[in-house]
Structure 1
Amino acid sequence: MRVLLLLLTFVFTSHTLSAQVLTSKSYENGLVVSAEKHASEIGRDILKQGGNAVDAAVAVQFALAVTLPRAGNIGGGGFMVIRLADGETTTLDFREKAPLQSYRDMYVRNGEVDSDLSWEGILAVGVPGTVDGMVKALERYGRMPLDVVMEPAIRLAREGYRLSYTQANDLNNHRDTFKKYQASAKYFTTGDTTLFKEGDLFVQTDLATTLERIARFGREGFYSGPVADAIVREMKRYRGIIEYKDLREYESVWRDAVTTEFMGYELHIMPPPSSGSVAIAQILEMIEDYPLKEMGHNSAEYVHVVAEAMRRAFADRAYYLGDPDFVDIPMEQLVSESYNNQRMESFSADTVTPSSSLSHGDIPGYSESSQTTHYSVVDADGNAVSVTTTLNGSFGSHVSVSGAGFLLNNEMDDFSAQPGEPNQYGLIGAEANAIEPGKRMLSSMTPAIVTKDDKVDMILGAAGGPRIITATLQSFLNRAVFDMRPMQATAAARFHHQWLPEVLFFGDFGLSPDTRALLEAKGHRLFPMPGIGRAHNIYRNDDGLWTGAPDPRADGSAEGY
């Protein structure tokens, strides 16, 4: 029932496209595209002061923790993809972990999954990874000291900023849930019967103090000392299970990117526990031999073949993918040409392959063991960074840390609470993504950097739960296959299929009535879903300049010089 309600929320929530035209300025020296104007401006200013793309990315992350509390965070986690001008490519996994006291069936009550426990409240919280990740990235690749890149975020938190209409509305919409938790009621409601309104000054003094501790002491300013004390106190207040040992032992991890080729482009994508890399690599392998451009953008023929590839990739996602430190993922086979050709043998141009008859593929020898935010950065030297970060649901668990001023995530919902049972986004999981102490939960976040002729050509990513994967895929295909201009490639209507539920979702103005009729004749069950992801991309123009493409479905901002 909760999955249905979540889907209906997407349908009836207004995501009207802004009046932003499908053009954008181009910049020679550096560019930041994020979901919030203050954060993009802060990143741009760091670049102008001589910082590189990693310095700017870290500054943007901490700024978003102040100005975008529904998704920007220090109480959550995420992924970073880095491509340096000299060709070095790496990724940083700062995804949250399951607490050491967690166990496989912790959300099962009387034989059934109680999904509310993994979605809201203290038991939904995974061990945060954002602060460790930002510090680690800056130490390895940054030019500027931590206190310098954090200073703008600290100032914003202490002095405050004026709420936009969307920011005020977001806070007001979650008011009743915030009031369940003492600290959240203090930080994110007005404290009386009034509501926030556009233009209100939003000050976060306790968060400013927390950020100052991080700026001074690095990761120890968060994972030990007064902030760690405050987190553990909050756990005890509501009977949570994160302890000092969880915080002390948390480590983000450097991983090799998943690289796949398509039409002369190389895509460098965050590897598992991000599922997007494998899914996109599989989909591209499955559709590569089809005449996509001749079919026409969002034609019935095009949507059908891409959606059927999506269906197969998400079926494999459900079965094979999890934390690579805990499960053996058959990566080489999953992304191979031969395997994906086999997966499409059951494809018919005339009719759908029912999800009920389409399970995961067979790999011999193998056995089982949505609110996010994305930002893209490029600097004058050509270094590029793609980051997706999240609390999971909007405002995460809705539990804030008293005295520290920040929200905690609800990432535990991204585990398979019980194999075969859907999570809040309708995604099915298996043993590979079952809960284990210290394990990272599977994610749909898909930061990616695309190169052509060994030069960065696109910096891609999106927010929006499982729709992140398909939004990022279509941002790439729109440019690579259909030669769309940057803003067109980002703004074009999208579609989404995730195997289960057996529904082909389509976005605003995406499919004509004739196209929908043709797809329904092939057996597709169509369902309108406004938005389908919020992408914040950067593209290189033919003249070598950078163009920012913030998604017009949201309040994103491109700031360069």
Structure 2
Amino acid sequence: MLSAVVALCVGLAGPVGAQTAAAPPSVRYDIGYDIFHPVRALNGMVASEHRLATEVGLAILKRGGNAVDAAVGVGFALAVVLPNAGNVGGGGFMMLHEAKSGRDVAIDFREMAPARASRDMYLDAQGKVVADRSLYTHLAVGVPGTVAGLAHALAQHGTLPLAEVLAPAIRLAREGFEVSPQLAGLLEAEDDHLAKWEASRAIFFKGDRPLRAGERLVQTDLANSLELIAKDGPKAFYEGPIAEKIAAEMARHGGLITAEDLKGYKVVDREPVSGTYRGYTVKSMPPPSSGGTHIIQLLNILERYPLKENGSGSAQNIHVMAEAMKFAYADRAEYLGDPDFTKVPVKGLTARRYADELAAKIDPDKATPAKTIKPGQPQPYESDQTTHFSVADSQGNVVGVTYTLNLNFGSGIVAAGTGILLNNEMDDFSAKPGVPNAFGLVGGEANAVQAFKRPLSSMSPTIVLKDGKPWLVTGSPGGSRIITTTLETILDHIDFGMNPAEATAVPRVHHQWTPDELRVERGISPDTIRLLEQKGHKVVVKQTMGRTQTIQIRPDGLFLGASDPRNPDGLTLGY
């Protein structure tokens, strides 16, 4: 009988801890064939990118809160302890399965462009994109949605009051916590962007340098802001004193967000995009996320190939995956945007007949040059610095949240007097159609800047159902690589029978159509790379991709989970 299991991904840094209750005789621990061992639990589980946030979520579950209560607590805690990505000044998406109703719900709390935003606001007089205007200025900030989104989820699907789930985050902000080597490295890397702003320096610097590992990060202004939200709800952020300070910050520095923009922000409940893969049902985020649509599109293409027989990491599997990815990202550039402003052919893109058409173009022995691939015609079939966390409870509720400031620490700008880092999500619009953004992604007219519009995203919180019940919840940060990281996690579980710890440890691959390169992590065999190059791929080995937070729920009720060791601060806990 296991009492505690620590998952150690050999060769990759980052322990994953677990707390487990004694298992009843009916539960069997089949670990004989595991290479890496996931966290195991019987009553609930939380996986996030920071141990302190995971501990907050687990404590809420132990007190009787459900998965949504815990997820909201984790979301606010990450805003404190993971300031480069966790946030209250950004936005994102939540996918949840509600056990009582059996419903799957997609909650869109993506940022919105302010009323004065315009199509050419990032271009100079000659029509060229102005470097960094959409990244590190007050013009880069979209109207934040996180506070509204988390509060909405709690009110509609949670069981605990907002003040109770916010209390741990307030304590962490007021009392502070020790800066980890990971966070210290990120602060040093973003030194220039944070140092430009007095309010940012006051929080993240000690004298003229960023905080170092082992020093304490105290965020008094953020604690005060969170206390106002706990007391008055999201109204404090969108209409009260926090809104006033954000609007004042914008007015002082030529930003566009006004008090009226903040007051007008709305959360949207959307219908998840849905598909099937080898008998499993996959539910993911619809537009303005491109993630779910293209995950379903890619699964539809790949289902025809014998991936299991070819073997995980084989040259043949990587080849067909890369070819399929090219077609999906070409379509992304052309068709994806905010569905409230442009018609997105989701049904066509996720149609199996359209997948048949694309698959017919894949040569099993030869890579297709990206320059010869154009966006397809799905209409006839119509009838790095984000974070993800996953939560599951004993009642059958599961939640996946991916939210972001965009790049590390967003714009680097803290709204004076609030302690709140502001996003630079406006860069996710197409500043100029055809010109790549910070992640190298090309967009078209569907994602052009427009007032009140939500920028296109790759965030892909995803739930996989087996026989109508949650079987897997996963997601990842990683900018343009979120889609492929989440896709590969699903394939690793379904096709190759991996557990969450094993799926986090295998090397990942990525192709996004342009640039025309097949990006792979270290660990792909040189023999495999040679075979791929013989097929015509330009293979490049680059830094790690994704940081998944995955929970699997077995039919016998056992929870298996793992935090991606690519972030040593991540932690999965269950009880």
| Shorter-chain TM-score range | over 0.9
Which residue does 1:149 correspond to in 2?
165
- Distance, in Å, in 2 between the alignment partners of 1:432 and 1:543 is 45
Question: Match for 2:436: what amino acid?
Answer: P
Q: Report Cα offsets for 1:496-554 as digits up to 9, x if no partner.
A: 00011101000121x21111011011110111122111111111246431111100111
Which residue does 2:480 correspond to in 1?
466
Instruction: Tell me the CA shift for residue 365 of structure 1.
Output: 7.1
Which residue does 2:134 correspond to in 1?
118
Which residue does 1:347 correspond to in 2?
362
Q: Report Cα offsets for 1:423-460 as digits up to 9, x if no partner.
A: 01000100110111000000000001111011111001
Residue 159 to residue 414, structure 1, CA distance change in 2 (3 Å): same
* Residues 1:380 and 2:394 are matched in the alignment: yes
- Distance, in Å, in 2 between the alignment partners of 1:103 and 1:387 is 30
Which residue does 2:321 correspond to in 1?
306
Which residue does 1:550 correspond to in 2?
563
* Residues 1:243 and 2:258 are matched in the alignment: yes
Which residue does 2:31 correspond to in 1?
none
Residue 19 to residue 419, structure 1, CA distance change in 2 (3 Å): closer
Which residue does 1:318 correspond to in 2?
333
Which residue does 1:18 correspond to in 2?
13
Structure 2: gaps of 5 or more residues: 1-10, 17-35
TM-score (norm 1): 0.95
Question: Match for 1:501: what amino acid?
Answer: P
- Distance, in Å, in 2 between the alignment partners of 1:81 and 1:65 is 19
Which residue does 1:295 correspond to in 2?
310
Which residue does 2:537 correspond to in 1?
524
Contact kept, 8 Å, 1:169 with 1:196, in 2: the verdict is no
Instruction: Tell me the CA shift for residue 196 of structure 1.
Output: 2.0
Secondary structure at the aligned position of 1:108 is classed as coil
Residue 214 to residue 364, structure 1, CA distance change in 2 (3 Å): closer
* Residues 1:45 and 2:59 are matched in the alignment: yes
Question: Match for 2:369: what amino acid?
Answer: P
Secondary structure at the aligned position of 1:350 is classed as coil
- Distance, in Å, in 1 between the alignment partners of 2:476 and 2:73 is 19
Which residue does 1:34 correspond to in 2?
48
Secondary structure at the aligned position of 1:392 is classed as coil
Which residue does 1:457 correspond to in 2?
471
- Distance, in Å, in 2 between the alignment partners of 1:184 and 1:366 is 50
- Corresponding residue to 1:328 among 328, 336, 343: 343
- Corresponding residue to 1:105 among 110, 120, 126: 120
Which residue does 1:131 correspond to in 2?
147
Secondary structure at the aligned position of 1:467 is classed as helix
Instruction: Tell me the CA shift for residue 60 of structure 1.
Output: 0.4
Which residue does 1:12 correspond to in 2?
none
- Distance, in Å, in 2 between the alignment partners of 1:447 and 1:504 is 24
- Distance, in Å, in 2 between the alignment partners of 1:193 and 1:424 is 28
Q: Report Cα offsets for 1:306-364 as digits up to 9, x if no partner.
A: 11001100110110110011111111111111111111222101111111010100245
Give me the CA root mean square deviation: 1.4
Which residue does 1:183 correspond to in 2?
199
- Distance, in Å, in 2 between the alignment partners of 1:76 and 1:142 is 22
Instruction: Tell me the CA shift for residue 401 of structure 1.
Output: 0.7
Instruction: Tell me the CA shift for residue 193 of structure 1.
Output: 3.3
Secondary structure at the aligned position of 1:347 is classed as coil
After TM superposition, the structure 1 = structure 2 runs for residues 134-533 of structure 1, keeping only pairs within 5 Å, are: 134-190=150-206, 192-364=207-379, 370-509=384-523, 511-533=524-546
- Distance, in Å, in 1 between the alignment partners of 2:76 and 2:500 is 27
Question: Match for 1:158: what amino acid?
Answer: R
Contact kept, 8 Å, 1:172 with 1:189, in 2: the verdict is no
Instruction: Tell me the CA shift for residue 197 of structure 1.
Output: 2.3
Question: Match for 1:89: what amino acid?
Answer: D
- Distance, in Å, in 2 between the alignment partners of 1:27 and 1:220 is 38
Secondary structure at the aligned position of 1:360 is classed as coil
Q: Report Cα offsets for 1:86-145 as digits up to 9, x if no partner.
A: 321111000000111000011011221114101112111000000000111111011000
Instruction: Tell me the CA shift for residue 56 of structure 1.
Output: 0.4
- Distance, in Å, in 2 between the alignment partners of 1:330 and 1:495 is 27
- Distance, in Å, in 2 between the alignment partners of 1:522 and 1:41 is 47
After TM superposition, the structure 1 = structure 2 runs for residues 34-113 of structure 1, keeping only pairs within 5 Å, are: 34-86=48-100, 87-109=102-124, 110-113=126-129
- Distance, in Å, in 2 between the alignment partners of 1:298 and 1:366 is 32
Instruction: Tell me the CA shift for residue 175 of structure 1.
Output: 2.0
Q: Report Cα offsets for 1:23-62 as digits up to 9, x if no partner.
A: 1221111110000000000000001111100000100010
Structure 1: gaps of 5 or more residues: 1-15
Residue 196 to residue 139, structure 1, CA distance change in 2 (3 Å): same
Instruction: Tell me the CA shift for residue 163 of structure 1.
Output: 1.2
- Distance, in Å, in 2 between the alignment partners of 1:59 and 1:159 is 17
Q: Report Cα offsets for 1:377-399 as digits up to 9, x if no partner.
A: 00111100000000000000011
- Distance, in Å, in 2 between the alignment partners of 1:113 and 1:84 is 44
- Distance, in Å, in 1 between the alignment partners of 2:162 and 2:260 is 25
Q: Would you identify which runs of 4 or more consecutive aligned residues in structure 1 move more than 6 Å? A: none
- Distance, in Å, in 2 between the alignment partners of 1:460 and 1:19 is 18
Contact kept, 8 Å, 1:539 with 1:549, in 2: the verdict is no
Secondary structure at the aligned position of 2:552 is classed as strand
Number of equivalent positions: 542
Q: Report Cα offsets for 1:165-224 as digits up to 9, x if no partner.
A: 11122222222221111211111211x135422221211100000000000111111011
- Distance, in Å, in 1 between the alignment partners of 2:228 and 2:285 is 30
| Greater displacement, 32-41 / 523-532 | 523-532
Question: Match for 1:159: what amino acid?
Answer: E
| Greater displacement, 438-447 / 103-112 | 103-112
Instruction: Tell me the CA shift for residue 559 of structure 1.
Output: 1.4
Contact kept, 8 Å, 1:178 with 1:399, in 2: the verdict is yes
Instruction: Tell me the CA shift for residue 19 of structure 1.
Output: 5.2
Residue 241 to residue 412, structure 1, CA distance change in 2 (3 Å): same
Instruction: Tell me the CA shift for residue 71 of structure 1.
Output: 0.3
| Greater displacement, 332-341 / 171-180 | 171-180
- Distance, in Å, in 2 between the alignment partners of 1:142 and 1:306 is 39
